[in-house]
Homo-oligomer: A and B are copies of this chain.
Amino acid sequence: MAEYRVGVLGATGAVGQKFIHLLRNHPWFKVTALGASERSAGKTYRDAANWVESTEMPEDIAKLTVTTCDPARMDVDFVFSGMDSAVATDIERSFAEAGIPVISNARNYRQHETVPLMVAEVNPDHAELIKSQSFDPNGRGFIVTNPNCVCIPLVLALKPIVDAYGVDEVILTSMQAVSGAGYPGVPSLDILGNILPYISGEEEKIGLEPLKLLGKLENGKVKFAEIPIQATSVRVPVIDGHLLSVTARLSKKPGDIEEVKNVVRNWKNPIADLNLPTGPDKPVRLYDDFRYPQPRHQSLAENGMQVGMGRLRASNIMDIAFTALGHNTIRGAAGCSILNAELLHAKGYFHS
């Protein structure tokens, strides 16, 4: 039975649609309100949205009337936000102030001191930051964010290594799927049979967000990790799935590569016991066969929530090199938000 009435902000956009798609059969969260721009408000969702998911628009959602993103118009227990960053700052705050928790994929509050930037299996303890938030004097509304779509597979793949050895430096090239640019996104004339060697704003986020995610909570604040990260982000003609080529220097030298492989294989997911509905059995899977993981074939592993790691080998320059693959719109966006919300429910942060 659905326990929560859920709103989606930015409901007509690509991320908003993914929220709706992923929540269509959710055991706890039922989408009951849809917020979008003035242009869409007043229309049924069927008329307002240019549905780009392959599955059908859920019939019950299609009939909902879209409203503006106004807490007064959306009678819900909490909202997921897939809003454009150009408008998210004020709107997300207004929901938090109105006592409605915001679980957001937008980047606006990711670096806010009291807002958790969270990947459920990586830094679930950061949820505690919520207590220091002052958006809502009644303590019901708050904001929780998840990171950029590259940072998610990056920190999930690094987390076992960080736990076992510490990581000092990371150099990576991220080969990113077109769905990461939203819709209409990348023109086909630009990307068919081509690579675009630059994605605006991406490398900065990859250099910064993992430091908060891998940071330690000390005295109610996040002490950022100190790991220089250098990223080169390119766009490739792939639909879904960002593939990362990563090289890392470790703080403590590993015995041999087999030891590192076992560290990954045996890493214990800290929230496994919670059995969250969207949580993958294995958040990180190490492929031994050097041909995997591949975006088209392994992105949807565990419903798109598992990060694949491959080609783990010793580096002759740093310590290790590997590839990491994450489904950018599921694990790397809406799915990450949903799992965060499930964690927050399990930890008792929602007051329904």
Residues of A in contact with B (beta carbons under 8 Å apart)? 52, 54, 169-171, 173, 175, 178-179, 183-198, 207, 228-230, 232, 234, 236-239, 243, 245, 247, 290-298, 300, 310-311, 315-318, 321, 323
Whether A183 touches B193, Cβ cut-off 8 Å, given contacts A234-B245, A243-B234, is: no
Rounded to whole Å, the gap between the CB of A313 and the closest CB of chain B is 9
Which among B245, B298, B315, B316 is the interface contact of A173 at CB below 8 angstroms? B245
Asked if residues A207 and B298 are in contact (CB atoms below 8 Å), the reply is no
Whether A185 touches B178, Cβ cut-off 8 Å, given contacts A195-B243, A291-B198, is: no
For the complex of A and B, list the 4 residue pairs with the smallest distance between their C-beta atoms, beginning with the closest: A184-B187, A194-B296, A173-B173, A173-B245
Asked if residues A236 and B236 are in contact (CB atoms below 8 Å), the reply is yes
Asked if residues B297 and A54 are in contact (CB atoms below 8 Å), the reply is yes
Copy count, this protein chain: 4
Whether A236 touches B294, Cβ cut-off 8 Å, given contacts A230-B315, A317-B230, is: no
Which among B169, B178, B187 is the interface contact of A183 at CB below 8 angstroms? B187
Q: In the complex, A14 Cα to B247 Cα: how many Å?
A: 34
Asked if residues A169 and B317 are in contact (CB atoms below 8 Å), the reply is yes
Whether A232 touches B188, Cβ cut-off 8 Å, given contacts A193-B237, A196-B291, is: no
Rounded to whole Å, the gap between the CB of A273 and the closest CB of chain B is 25
Q: In the complex, A192 Cα to B186 Cα: how many Å?
A: 11
Which chain B residue shows the least CB distance to A293? B197
Rounded to whole Å, the gap between the CB of A287 and the closest CB of chain B is 9
Q: Which residues of B contact A169 (CB under 8 A)?
A: 317
Q: Which residues of B contact A52 (CB under 8 A)?
A: 189
Q: In the complex, A54 Cα to B327 Cα: how many Å?
A: 14
Which chain B residue shows the least CB distance to A322? B232
Q: Which residues of B contact A310 (CB under 8 A)?
A: 197
Q: In the complex, A197 Cα to B236 Cα: how many Å?
A: 13
A-B contact pairs, 9 of them (CB 8 A): A173-B173, A175-B175, A178-B188, A185-B189, A188-B190, A197-B311, A198-B311, A232-B321, A237-B238
Q: Which residues of B contact A292 (CB under 8 A)?
A: 197
Listed residue (A184, A187, A191) with the most chain B CB atoms within 10 angstroms of its CB: A187
Asked if residues B179 and A317 are in contact (CB atoms below 8 Å), the reply is no
Which among B175, B186, B230, B323 is the interface contact of A316 at CB below 8 angstroms? B230
